[in-house]
Amino acid sequence: MRIFISWSGNASRQCAEVLRSWLPIMNQSIEPFVSSQDISKGERGLHKIADKLQESAYGIVCVTRDNQAAPWINFEAGALSRELGESRLAPFLLDLAVKDLSAGPMTQFQATESSSRDDVLALVKSINDKCEKRNEHLETLFEKFWDDLRTSLEGIRSSQPANEVPERETSDILNELVSLVREQSSRLQHLEGKVARTGDVNTTTHYTINEPHEVKIQSEEPESRTRRLLRTVRDAIGAENVVKAGRKAGILQVITNTEGMENARQFEMEIADAAASCAVGLEIKTPDGDTLLYPPF
């Protein structure tokens, strides 16, 4: 189980190095990569980092108040999310809470507050679940070695100079939430308009380039594209987990059970790509209301 641990700045680097030493205690199959420790002098650093990004099955980004907007750490986070999917990428917050993450790429991932025992345990469980050989005694080991990790991280926090970055005001957080909700509403309205217009036309044209100077024009009816997308969704979440599926207002709606929703989140990037390729809006939800939306634009 190869884990790429990303860092930027002194405190973030120390945090990454602590995790590099501590995580294999939780499961011996874990192989963390930290560039400050695992690139020898004379090696081609960027080349090895690119290789390790592709080889990794999980990513942890060590985030601090100072580096959350740093270009390099956001570049690595973006590269990891493309390689692994959002469900396998975890921002690890050293000296800030989830609510203090500023608007940006990091806010789209499920972050872990390093000072929270429960948060860190949930992260370790997530990693352990994705290992080929799970550690059945994980919680016992965590209880034994949690204080070691907590003490090390507290030492890093206390050694840093006083941070001049203020905590975000409640009004600022609320304004950001309102802005995000309005943005999503605008995108959905745009999607509904596109879908409505698509429904009025029997065919749509796709241009695909196969060889230089060769262009093929293909037409495919909306019903055919919807069926193609449904096959992809069933393959991803498991046909046995699909409770009901149908097209409504130009959008493919799939009702699934809890296991199907977990699979959908695991293969979220593949499903989103399929929805975009088919130009069909997709809604996956459980009977209790848990919902995923995939606008195809």
CB-based burial of residue 12 (10 Å sphere; 0-12 exposed, 13-18 middle, 19+ buried)?
Answer: buried
Residue 292's DSSP bridge partners are 284
Asked if pLDDT for residue 247 goes beyond 90, the answer is no
pLDDT at residue 224, as a whole number: 84
pLDDT at residue 269, as a whole number: 80
Asked if pLDDT for residue 272 goes beyond 60, the answer is yes
In whole angstroms, give the CA distance from residue 275 to residue 10: 41
CA-based nearest residue to 278, from 208, 238, 236, 227: 227
pLDDT at residue 202, as a whole number: 45
Average pLDDT, the chain: 78
Asked if pLDDT for residue 195 goes beyond 60, the answer is no
What percentage of residues in the chain have a pLDDT greater than 70?
72
Edge-to-edge strand ranges of the sheet holding 291-294? 242-248, 251-256, 281-285, 291-294
Whether this prediction's pTM lies above 0.85 is answered by: no
Give tens-digit pLDDT for 36-76.
Answer: 776 554 444 556 676 777 788 898 999 998 888 777 777 77
Neighbours of 41 (CB within 10 A): 5
Cα dihedral 40, 51, 12, 145 sign: negative
Helices 222-237 and 268-278, packing angle to 10 deg: 170
Tokens 């975009």, residue located: 276
Q: What is the mean pLDDT of residues 21-31?
A: 95
Asked if pLDDT for residue 266 goes beyond 60, the answer is yes
pLDDT at residue 193, as a whole number: 58
CA-based nearest residue to 229, from 272, 191, 286, 290: 272
pLDDT at residue 255, as a whole number: 94
In whole angstroms, give the CA distance from residue 100 to residue 115: 14
Residue 89's DSSP bridge partners are 59
Type of residue at 100: D
Q: What is the mean pLDDT of residues 136-155?
A: 95
Q: What is the mean pLDDT of residues 287-291?
A: 88
What percentage of residues in the chain have a pLDDT greater than 90?
35
214 pLDDT tier (thresholds 50, 70, 90): very low
